[in-house]
């Protein structure tokens, strides 16, 4: 069983001008993340544009991730689909390709009851012998995993944790409180809540901002575990100017644009989610210059 903890990067998917995947640059980004000390590589999450990649592209990305990581940190594969059947198929394929952990987002578009969500995840867990991390992001999927449902799912052996991207800190607190004493991990999917999740008893975060500031994001966790809460808070607070630019576009669009502005040839997000206004670009450049001058990296 992989230990799920720390700062896991939902690594972006570099693309060429024609929107094909730039696999050599993906390898470079993986090395950049590992050199910064990240505790896991998570391909085709939201920041990796998993929502817009084909199955064959996901396979190619996962193959490269597993090959490049070479067991140095766990590789998390986003394998959630709308249907239970497709999720099982994608999850089994991810296992064949060498993924260590599955991140399974809730089904989207059609509304699902809590009973249906429980059955969905239980069925997948019974069919795929890999650790499963639940992924709650109701603003994107329209379906939320209630604390009661997460607690029931936590009793299934290979459902080992949950990533919460609801932005509702009380929801994270309930996940932690309801599963306390169980062998179950709670991770923040909101980068501004990582330290507070750790202080409440969570184990870390899946941090999109790590694509831009990997050392800083890792230091939130590393300072926390050594008891240097002041330094952890300084690192947590440091990303606020950058996160303030998210109002100009999808966060993953901003993250990728920022990484490109730092000089890495990662390209743009795939259309139509690939543009920032002139005001957005200006604000982003200003935030990056401000943070770079302070040594945030």
Count: domains in the chain:
1
Question: 20 pLDDT band (50/70/90 cuts)?
Answer: very high
Residue 259 placed within a domain:
no
Residue 182 placed within a domain:
yes
Residue 152 placed within a domain:
yes
Residues 24-29, mean pLDDT to the nearest whole number: 98
Residue 212 Rama label (left phi>0; alpha psi -120 to 50; beta): alpha
Residue 280 placed within a domain:
no
Residue 47 placed within a domain:
yes
Which of 257, 207, 253 is closest to 49 using CA atoms? 253
Count CB-CB contacts under 10 A for residue 266: 23
Q: Over the stretch 100-133, which tens digit does the pLDDT of each residue have? A: 999 999 999 999 999 999 999 999 999 999 999 9
How high does pLDDT run on average in the chain? 97
Q: Which residues are catalytic?
A: 135, 163
Domain residue limits at 149: 6-232
Residue 288 placed within a domain:
no
CATH number at residue 57: 3.20.20.70
Residue 48 placed within a domain:
yes
Residue 239 placed within a domain:
no
Q: Over the stretch 176-235, which tens digit does the pLDDT of each residue have? A: 999 999 999 999 999 999 999 999 999 999 999 999 999 999 999 999 999 999 999 999
Q: Supply the pLDDT for residue 3.
A: 87
Q: Supply the pLDDT for residue 1.
A: 54
């Amino acid at each position: 069983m992989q230990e799920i903890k720390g700062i896991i990067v939902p690594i972006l998917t570099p693309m060429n001008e024609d929107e094909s995947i730039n696999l050599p640059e993906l390898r470079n980004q993986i090395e950049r993340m590992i050199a910064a000390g990240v505790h896991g590589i998570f391909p085709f999450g939201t920041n990796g544009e998993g929502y817009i990649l084909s199955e064959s592209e996901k396979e190619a990305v996962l193959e490269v991730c597993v090959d490049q990581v070479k067991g140095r940190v766990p590789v998390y594969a986003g394998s959630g689909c709308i249907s239970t059947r497709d999720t099982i198929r994608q999850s089994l394929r991810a296992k064949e390709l060498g993924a260590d952990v599955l991140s399974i987002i809730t089904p989207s578009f059609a509304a699902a009851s809590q009973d249906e969500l429980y059955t969905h995840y239980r069925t997948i867990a019974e069919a795929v012998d890999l650790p499963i991390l639940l992924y709650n992001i109701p603003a994107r999927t329209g379906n939320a995993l209630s604390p009661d449902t997460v607690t029931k799912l936590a009793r299934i052996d290979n459902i080992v944790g949950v990533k919460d991207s609801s932005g509702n800190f009380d929801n994270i607190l309930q996940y932690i409180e309801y599963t306390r004493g169980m062998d179950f991990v709670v991770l923040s999917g909101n980068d501004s809540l990582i330290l507070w999740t750790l202080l409440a008893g969570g184990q870390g975060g899946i941090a999109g901002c790590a694509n831009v500031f990997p050392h800083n994001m890792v230091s939130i966790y590393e300072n926390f575990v050594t008891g240097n809460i002041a330094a952890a808070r300084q690192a947590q607070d440091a990303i606020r100017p950058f996160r303030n630019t998210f109002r100009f576009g999808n966060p993953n669009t901003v993250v990728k644009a920022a990484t490109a502005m730092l000089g890495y040839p990662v390209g743009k997000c795939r259309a139509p989610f690939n543009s920032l206004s002139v005001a957005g670009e200006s604000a982003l450049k200003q935030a990056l210059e401000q943070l770079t001058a302070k040594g945030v990296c």
